[in-house]
Amino acid sequence: MSQESSFRRAFFPSLSVVFAVALVACGGPEEQPLPDALVDADAAVVAATDTFDVSISCEAAFGDFVCDVARTGGVGPFSATWTGVTRAYIDVNYLHNPDTVQGMCTPNRPSTVQLSITDALGRNVVRSKSFPCSQLAP
């Protein structure tokens, strides 16, 4: 036995056992999907080089409106705040919804909503959308 081997045995007698346990522990069960509150690291790396943008499309009828968001890039979860800019009154249940908003508008008058949305990497986009508030169905 070499002097180096004697040294390892004297000062690290259970080193091989520790490594064996660590390897067994790392082999755990299959990966589970991430909860919504966590950031997917692989997606974050890809998204860091992608652009993050949104567009808004709205429809209105009978003094009510619905606007939907289409996102390009970005990493969830997303946080959002909607604002009624001109003759648009946001339903409080949709005030922080990153996907859609509903509310009331003044019939036969143009209305405008604004969305401020931030992804999990802290990138913020602000977009506004004007639309005619129709009294009739589209």
Domain with 121 in it: 41-133
Strands 53-61 and 88-90: unpaired
- Separation CA 99–CA 76 (nearest Å): 12
78-106 confidence digits (pLDDT tens) = 999 999 999 999 999 999 999 999 999 99
Could you tell me which of 78, 60, 68 has the C-alpha nearest to residue 121? 78
Phi and psi at residue 29, in whole multiples of 5°?
-70, 170
3-state helix vs strand vs coil in the chain, percent to 5: 25, 40, 35
- Separation CA 52–CA 43 (nearest Å): 13
Residue 86 within any structural domain of the chain: yes
Here the CATH number for the domain that contains residue 109 is 2.60.40.10
Q: What integer pLDDT is reported at residue 24 of this predicted model? A: 41
36-70 confidence digits (pLDDT tens) = 556 666 666 665 668 999 999 999 999 999 999 99
